[in-house]
Amino acid sequence: MSPETHTGRSLKKQVLNLLQEDDFDSALDELCSLPGRQVVNPLISFLLHKEEKSRWRAIVAMGAVVKRLAETDIEGARVVMRRLMWSLNPESGGIGWGAPEAMAEIMARHGGMAVEYGAVFASYMDEDGNFLEHEALQRGLMWGLVRLALSRPEAVRAAERHIEKYLKSPDATVRGLAAWAAGLLGAEAVRAQLRAMLADDAEFRAFVDMEFISSRVSEAAKQALVRLDREAAAAK
């Protein structure tokens, strides 16, 4: 076994242990103290981890680590984004599990990356762009849209015109997250569709503020309409 292989395996084990720590805030600080370009490799591998909590913590850690990397090595951060983008390309031979979420988390944490890659992210919603057909990837895409709509809505304004088709998705998680994003982005054009969704009591789960929450599509639509009404009233 080469020293490089041993070092790589040791780092991967160290990263996984940190992802599974009870005190994840402290673990995240430690992850960010590791060499950014090196720690990204195991983090990307853990986007496929069988345990849901570890997968989502890997997404959070990707955002924090790449943000720190971008502060001193912007080209290194761009390389990470390009790797994630390539994983979503059919020519890569993979599927890109976790890539939309990781891209969004990175952009949510670093404004410069959001400016550079926000339009690319929106293109994954566009049937004439880099459209993601896989339903599970669309879940990640809608989660990422919500994450960015909450933190850097200006980066994903181009996505607003593509939301309607996701409100009609057969997948409840996609519909619920799309409704949430529509309210955050002030998508007046889909108000009628949101009203129709008030009768949609399908349940969905989402990862929010380091916890898993359960809600109903109807509740997401209701909250989106409340937000649209509030913004409309404020504009008068």
| Confidence (pLDDT) at 6 | 40
Q: Find tokens 């040791």 and name the residue.
A: 10
Under a CB-based contact definition with an 8 Å cutoff, are residues 211 and 219 in contact? no
Residues linked to residue 211 through DSSP beta bridges, in sequence order: 208
CB within 8 A of 58, min separation 6: which ones? 19, 43, 44, 46, 47, 49, 98, 102
Domain boundaries, the chain: 1-123
| Beta-carbon count within 10 A of 52 CB | 11
Per-residue pLDDT tens digits for 145-204: 999 999 999 999 999 999 999 999 999 999 999 999 999 999 999 999 999 999 999 999
Interval 45-51 mean pLDDT: 95
pLDDT of residue 7: 67
Is residue 2 over pLDDT 50?
no
What pLDDT, in 10s, does the model give residues 17-36? 999 999 999 999 999 999 99
Average pLDDT, the chain: 94
Are the beta carbons of 98 and 55 closer than 8 angstroms? yes
Predicted TM-score (pTM) of this structure: 0.94
Q: Give the three-class secondary structure for 206.
A: strand
Residue 131, pLDDT score? 96
- Out of 3.30.1360, 1.25.40, 1.10.390, 1.20.1080, which CATH number does the structure's domain 1-123 have? 1.25.40
Count Cα atoms within 13 angstroms, Cβ side, for 127.
6
Phi, psi of 95 (to 5 degrees): -115, -25
State the Cα–Cα distance between residues 153 and 192, nearest whole angstrom: 22
d(CA 184, CA 190): 12
Share of the chain above pLDDT 90, in %: 91
Q: pLDDT higher for 95 or 100? A: 100
CA dist 109 and 129 (Å) reads 25
